Structure 1
Amino acid sequence: MATKSFNHPVYEALKDKRFILASTSPRRSQILTQLGFKFEVVASNFPEDLDKSKYSPSEYVLNTAIGKAIAVWNEMKAQNEKIDLILSADTVVVCNDKIFEKPKNIEENIKMLKYMRDCGCPQIVMSGVVLLIRIDNTYKLEKIVESSKVYMDYENISDDFINSYVNTEEGLTVAGGYRIQGLGALFMKGIEGDFYNVVGLPFRSTFKLIEKSINNTTTTTTTTIK
């Protein structure tokens, strides 16, 4: 039986807005599409090279997402393009306060997965999500950080298993070096929190952020969701 469309005021409020996703991640595009939003993808030229030693994990992921959004704003504004909303996000995996992003190569992917297996503690997957909203010739930022816990099957992951997985190269495209919506799920015993957050964009929180932001264009808030 076919489902009916989700009729929500947020879609009507956005129908004449130019909504930009400042990310080329296919996973974020899929999630935003699943949420029912119509948007354009514009790649951000933000270098994503913040000094991790100067930030807590939540500050790091949020400031990276802010940098992505502002970079797209600056580029589009320089070209006199219409801008209404820009959504950006960044996701990292944290283990023992160490921040893991995408592995640079297979060797780094192997080291990353062995480290997380051997630490025996859950990984914290953090996503910083930023919505930049144009107000006349400037903008305001609405921001959230959401965390999910991922539990590995620590005792049953052998070096051979890690090597076999890494050789698929699936993990080279994602923070933490394993794709939970793919074969990387074989590492997992369970998740505490939003599954979509682990994929790359928290589902409910992103929807609520957009909903709140279009209803409130005068107050900038920062919310951390644990």
Structure 2
Amino acid sequence: MTSTDFVLGSASPARLRVLQQAGIDPRVLVADVDEDGLVAELAASPPADIVTRLAVAKADALVPRVGDGDDVVLVTCDSMLHIGGELVGKPHTPEVARQRWTRMSGQSAMLLTGHCVTRIRRGEPIARATDSAATEIRFATVDAAAVDAYVATGEPLAVAGAFTLDGLGGWFVDGIDGDPSSVIGISLPLTRRLLARVDVDVTTLWSAQAR
């Protein structure tokens, strides 16, 4: 019986942690994709389409690098926050992170995560399934001192929407409506459904320790 090689196409430690806690120990590859350029190119598209296209672009960049195994599953994701009609990603700088939190404080926004599951055999894609997950985030009202303290930690600079649910940012999220794993970066329910669409049973991917 051929075992399936599970590859996570992401540098996100949060996505890796979600999978590991759910019984999968993936191989990790990181795609080199001009995300900002692609977002600008797709600016007129619906937000859910944009995050899904980003996930697909990462998959396309990584397919040549996964190797020539008999059965490889590559999972790529991309998350962005949709707030006030604008789709925003990682702030990268303290100034942008402060601006984001001034805007998000006391408001609700939608965290969108695009997913792409590609099944590869001997270096060639044989099946692909894509979709996105949306979760409403209800942000607490946060004063300037708390925003400054959070930004000073550096955590919000490199995460979609300038916040985390499973880290320090969780103190400033009053609630969510939807899938928490999607907010962290990879939706377990959606990934399970996409795996099924490419004829992979998620239980066969669990590590020996999880079974």
Q: How does the TM-score come out when normalised to structure 2?
A: 0.84
Counterpart pick for 2:132 among 145, 156, 165: 145
Which one of the candidate residues 96, 104, 120 is aligned to 1:134?
120
Q: 2:54 aligns with which of 50, 59, 64?
A: 64
CA contact (8 A) 1:21 1:86 kept: yes
Q: Which amino acid letter does the alignment assign opposite residue 175 of structure 2?
A: G
Which stretch shows the higher mean deviation, 102-111 or 207-216? 207-216
Q: Counterpart of 1:97? A: 85
The answer on 1:177 being equivalent to 2:162 is yes
**2:108 is the counterpart of 1:122:** yes
Counterpart contact for 2:91–2:157, Cα < 8 Å: yes
Which residue matches 1:9?
A: none
Shift of 1:39: 2.1
Give the secondary-structure state (helix, strand or coil) at the position aligned to 1:53: coil
* 1:4 corresponding residue in structure 2: none
Contact 1:35 1:207 (C-alpha < 8 Å) held by counterparts: no
Distance in structure 1 (CA, Å) of the matches to 2:5 and 2:184: 25
> Which stretches of structure 1, 4 residues or longer, exceed 6 Å deviation after superposition?
none
Q: Is the 8 A contact 2:63 2:125 kept in 1?
A: no
> Aligned Cα RMSD in Å?
2.1
Equivalent-residue separation in structure 2 for 1:85 and 1:170 (angstroms): 30
Aligned length: 196
Contact 1:57–1:97 under 8 Å retained in 2 = no
Structure 1: which 5+ runs fail to align? 1-12, 217-226
Q: For 2:125 and 2:181, how far apart are their aligned partners in 1?
A: 31
Aligned to 2:33: 46
Alignment of structure 1 residues 1-226 onto 2, 5 Å: 16-49=3-36, 50=38, 51=40, 52-76=42-66, 81-82=68-69, 84-117=72-105, 120-134=106-120, 137-154=124-141, 157-215=142-200
One-letter code aligned to 1:124: M
- Residue number in structure 1 paired with 2:204: none
Measured in 1, the distance between the counterparts of 2:195 and 2:127 equals 13
Amino acid aligned to 1:134: I
Shift of 1:134: 2.3
